[in-house]
Amino acid sequence: MRCSLRLWPSRCAADGGAPCAPRFGYPRALAHPAGCLCPGRSHRMGSRQSHVNHMQPASQRDLRSTSLYREVHAYYDAIFAPGKDRITDGADLAMHPRGRLAGFTGTLFNDLGTAPGTRICLVDLESGAMHRLDCPANSDRMPRWSPDGSRLAFLSDRTEAGNFQLFVTDPEGKGDARATPAANGTVEYFHWSPDGQRIVLGVAGFGADLPGALGGATIAGQADALPDWMPAIETAHAENLWRRLYVHDTRTSAMHLASPEGFNCWESGWLGNGRLLAVASESHSEGSWYRCRLLAIDPGTGSARTIHQPNDQIGVPAASPSGKVVALIEAVSSDRLLVAGALLLI
């Protein structure tokens, strides 16, 4: 179990102003030598002496009246058009199987003081007309059509902010969106099976870390009824820190856990219609990603076997519809989701 201890940064007067060096295994606040006069020493042995906060008052920190702030604000106001109900950026491009529609995740700013929302946008490639799916609250993202083009799936946190789940609607996005059974965590991505009968979902537990490429933050936990003063307990082995695979059956609407116990599945895809591919490690920690292997998983039993043990990092696994050929990228990589290197065929 991990306990958080807040330590004030300090410089020690006893050794000429250099930072106090912590003893092995002890936090910095417990390692100050005798005679140390730095603020950190006030926290030794339960001292109640408070640390002096030298932060400037709010009136002096407010930059909004400066000419530089107004210049920067005007620049981003022109780019993002906050409050004007305008899509100003796009990502997650997808194509309808028949080539008549393209879909993407559009960015929408309500103001410059809060994070933007996202919407599913569909473009008619003949007329250029754009249709935006109705989003009653929060955000929609990642449109993906079924292989036959008859259904459109996407992720949305319209039910609970930050908790993205899978929704399915008609191919033009003009009907009501149907929620699939909720997975135990927030859905990061999904893939249709080649025959369109099942969807694999990559699900991160509430509390799992995001990669450095996405800011390195922690996925927010679900809201609970506990009072604000209740302490938060963190552990390195909690069940909510893992990334797992779920499979949704589009014929029966059933949802079940498909990944094997003891494996953290960072990325996945289909290996034909009957098996899954997964870039996986035996720990949920971000550091374990650097030692991943490529697994073939039976989603019915959860059994897995290694089909590639790389020397470096791997990512973006994909297979032919038949499952006979697997492609992935392998390279020395600094961050998850930023794998760029040699294309391997297995």
Q: What pLDDT does residue 193 have?
A: 98
Give every strand in the sheet of 140-145, ordered side by side. Answer: 140-145, 152-156, 165-169, 178-179
User: How crowded is residue 29: how many other Cβ atoms within 10 Å of its Cβ?
Assistant: 21
Residue 79 β-bridge partners = none
Binning the chain into helix, strand and coil, the percentages to the nearest 5 are: 15, 35, 55
Is residue 78 packed enough to be buried (19+ CB in 10 Å), middle (13-18) or exposed (0-12)? exposed
Give every strand in the sheet of 186-192, ordered side by side. Answer: 186-192, 198-204, 243-249, 255-257
- Quick: pLDDT tens for 126-156: 999 999 999 999 999 999 999 999 999 999 9
- Which residue pairs from 16-23 have beta carbons closer than 8 angstroms and sit at least 24 positions apart in sequence? none
The backbone torsions φ and ψ at residue 77, rounded to the nearest 5 degrees and listed phi first, read -65, -40
Q: What pLDDT does residue 300 have?
A: 95
Q: Per the structure block, which two tokens stand in for 338? A: 């930023």
Taking the whole predicted model, whether its pTM rises above 0.85 is answered as: no
User: Which string of DSSP letters, residue by residue, matches 188-243?
Assistant: EEEEE-TTSSEEEEEEE-TTPBPPGGGTS-BPPPPP-SS-TTSPP-B-TT-GGG-E
Cα 284 from Cα 262, distance rounded (Å): 9
- Quick: pLDDT tens for 286-305: 999 999 999 999 999 999 99
Rg (CA), the chain: 25
Point out the residues of the chain with pLDDT beneath 50.
1-51
- Quick: pLDDT tens for 158-181: 999 999 999 999 999 999 999 999
The backbone torsions φ and ψ at residue 173, rounded to the nearest 5 degrees and listed phi first, read 65, 30
Q: For residue 276, how far is the Cα from the chain centroid?
A: 21
Q: Read off the DSSP letter of residue 118.
A: E
Q: Decide: helix, strand or coil at residue 69.
A: helix
- Quick: pLDDT tens for 268-286: 999 999 999 999 999 999 9
The backbone torsions φ and ψ at residue 39, rounded to the nearest 5 degrees and listed phi first, read -60, -30
Class for the domain spanning 180-221+238-346: mainly beta
Residues in the chain: 346
Q: For residue 117, how far is the Cα from the chain centroid?
A: 15
Q: What pLDDT does residue 204 have?
A: 94
Give every strand in the sheet of 87-95, ordered side by side. Answer: 87-95, 101-108, 117-124, 130-132
Location of structure tokens 């870039």: 279
Query: In the chain, where are the structural domains located?
Result: 13-53, 67-147, 180-221+238-346
What percentage of the chain exceeds 70 in pLDDT? Answer: 77
71 neighbors 107 (Cβ within 8 angstroms):
no
Cα 315 from Cα 318, distance rounded (Å): 9
